[in-house]
A and B are shown apart, each in its own frame.
Chain A
Amino acid sequence: QLQLVQSGAEVRKPGASVKVSCQASRYGFDSYDINWVRQATGQGLEWMGWINPNSGDGGSAPNFQGRVTMTWDTSTLTAYMQLNSLRYEDTAVYYCARVDYHYYYMDVWGKGTPVTVSS
């Protein structure tokens, strides 16, 4: 079973950037994208965007456009999500997930990376 291993917790100041990684245990992305989802403490899930490991194509939710970059490193099977101009309200757990791009369901999830924005 494919696993997604995420990087450790991060602390950043407002205005800074953070880059979270998500490494796959093996290749398994025929017909799949990598999506990023975040969850503030005590809140619901918020979809951030996607990247296709085969083409490198991607996109982000309107709330994050211009502030988030999603990339894929084929040599290490690692997805990255960089969020810029951090605000206090970006404090959350950030998850990566594998998504079937025909029927848009997330079948494999990483364990999450806590990001804290604090001065």
Chain B
Amino acid sequence: EAGVAQSPRYKIIEKRQSVAFWCNPISGHATLYWYQQILGQGPKLLIQFQNNGVVDDSQLPKDRFSAERLKGVDSTLKIQPAKLEDSAVYLCASSPQGVYTEAFFGQGTRLTVV
């Protein structure tokens, strides 16, 4: 079974530029998460989708971050414009619908804003 795919693995951009990350969850998984993990900290939930609807985006900085989940499958997370403090690893995870079992994580995208 293929895991959660993310791209790119690494990205370096200058502040005020824009960047986009892509995630392909495990086939059939209804729930998709985007987390931000700053060095030395635990993952912080940015947004959670159930199919193509948003369940929780309370910690998403909506003035600069946006996310969508196309047809309830792939998802993209965009930052525009980026700030230095956005440097982090962006993790995508998915889980099956129904009784919660576990979330499966991709390897993440490491973003460096200079």
A, B co-complexed: no
Interface residues, chain A, with chain B CB atoms under 8 Å away:
none
Interface residues, chain B, with chain A CB atoms under 8 Å away:
none
